[in-house]
A and B are shown apart, each in its own frame.
Chain A
Amino acid sequence: MRVRDAGNTVGKSGQVKRRTCPCLIRAIADRGVKVCLMPCLGLEDAIGTAVRQACYIVAEELRPKVTVLGCAPALFVGAEEDIIYVLSYPVIAIEACSYACGTRMCRRYGKEPNAVIYADEFLRESGIDLGVESNYILGELGQRASKLLAERIVEEVDRLLLSEVRRVAKVTSKQRAEGGAEGG
């Protein structure tokens, strides 16, 4: 299966930012393929708030039908919905520091995240320092950080969605081939 991307843009550093065609995302949503976002939900610093808000932007605005939010505290008390998300879908852990709470939550259920984004490193590379931001309600800088992070998360979401579609297609075609061989 060939997958086409449209509307690619070139970032400041010269790297090509792949923007996935919206109709492709709609088609993927129709197939029920989703990605689980497992963010750091730390309360002590603004970066935790920025990560949380970035996940809301992705799940509610940018990729609403193809993402679910993994709730770390709910996983602790065995909430079925969240366990199913982690075990059934590819997972992106979005970490605020090297302690990597999102990754640790996945491992608790025997799953290694399919992708990890270190928000602290990403924001540092983007020239954003949230040191002066409030962890309560984000100011202008925090909101800008959330938007940038959301775009970064979307890149990973799209990559994992396409990879998951390819994987499912491969499994389906193999099953068909085996079924055909048995039938013939």
Chain B
Amino acid sequence: MMQPSSNLKVVVVSCNGIGMLVSTAARLGALRAQQLRPQNIIVWGAATLGVDYPKAVRDANSYPLILIDGCKPKCASGVYSEKVKDGIIKPSDIGGKVIGRIYIPEVCVKYGLSLKGEQRSRYSEKGMKVVEAIASEVVKLVDEFIATCGK
């Protein structure tokens, strides 16, 4: 994938849980995407936004968002909805609006991957394939957004 030269930014709000195996994939997937598009991606954990961490709130209101949910409670989406409801995030044409949602079980199905047998503290090659798949989905969304803005 060729890196776009644009300086447009997108905030990735990722599940940053600790209990479930899939939360490691969410966290690493978001950070890997940031490595691939350092000029365009800012990463914040869902809980960090949840506790109204000032920089996270400022970024969430300044740029469009991609939400990464790891498991059924869909915490990143839940936190976003709560923050919009409370008026902490105010979606506008510029920032605060969701341009994409990634649900990891769906990514696993799409790419024919699984986390079965992995350890949440350290992924093997098998788990890292899921991480790469999530990162590529994030990057795809970011590139599409940049391309759309350029038109």
Chain A residues packing against B (C-beta within 8 Å): 39, 41-44, 48, 52-53, 55-57, 60, 69-77, 79, 81-82, 99, 101, 104-105, 135-137
Measured CB to CB, the nearest residue on chain A to B77 is A77
Complex contact B120–A105 (CB within 8 A): no
Residues of A within 8 A of B47 (CB): 41, 72-73, 75-76, 101, 105
Given A41-B16, A56-B121, A72-B47: A77 touches B74 (CB 8 Å cut-off): yes
The contact of B45 among A56, A73, A77, by CB within 8 Å, is: A73
Residues of A within 8 A of B105 (CB): none
The contact of A43 among B30, B35, B121, by CB within 8 Å, is: B30
Chain A contact residues: helix, strand, loop or mixed: helix
In the bound assembly, the distance between CA atoms of A30 and B73 in angstroms comes to 31
Complex contact B18–A136 (CB within 8 A): no
Given A72-B50, A136-B35: A41 touches B17 (CB 8 Å cut-off): yes
Given A72-B16, A77-B75, A136-B32: A43 touches B45 (CB 8 Å cut-off): yes
B49-67 contacts to A (CB < 8 Å): 50-51, 53
Complex contact A105–B51 (CB within 8 A): yes
Complex contact A43–B19 (CB within 8 A): no
The contact of B43 among A43, A60, A105, by CB within 8 Å, is: A43
Within the complex, the shortest CB–CB distance from B72 to chain A, in Å, comes to 9
Does B40 have its Cβ within 8 Å of any Cβ on chain A?
A: no
In the bound assembly, the distance between CA atoms of A70 and B15 in angstroms comes to 14
In the bound assembly, the distance between CA atoms of A135 and B14 in angstroms comes to 14
The contact of B16 among A42, A69, A77, A99, by CB within 8 Å, is: A42
The contact of A74 among B14, B17, B28, by CB within 8 Å, is: B17
In the bound assembly, the distance between CA atoms of A134 and B19 in angstroms comes to 22
Supply 10 A–B pairs (Cβ within 8 Å), ascending by A: A42-B48, A43-B30, A69-B19, A72-B18, A73-B46, A73-B47, A77-B74, A82-B19, A101-B47, A137-B28
**Which 7 A-B residue pairings sit nearest by Cβ, starting from the closest?**
A73-B75, A72-B47, A77-B78, A56-B121, A71-B19, A41-B16, A73-B46
Does B82 have its Cβ within 8 Å of any Cβ on chain A?
A: yes
Within the complex, the shortest CB–CB distance from B58 to chain A, in Å, comes to 13
In the bound assembly, the distance between CA atoms of A80 and B65 in angstroms comes to 28
Measured CB to CB, the nearest residue on chain B to A99 is B53
Complex contact A136–B28 (CB within 8 A): yes
Complex contact A73–B51 (CB within 8 A): no
The contact of A135 among B31, B48, B73, B121, by CB within 8 Å, is: B31
The contact of B23 among A70, A71, A77, by CB within 8 Å, is: A71
Q: Which of A69, A74, A136: most chain B CB closer than 10 A? A: A74
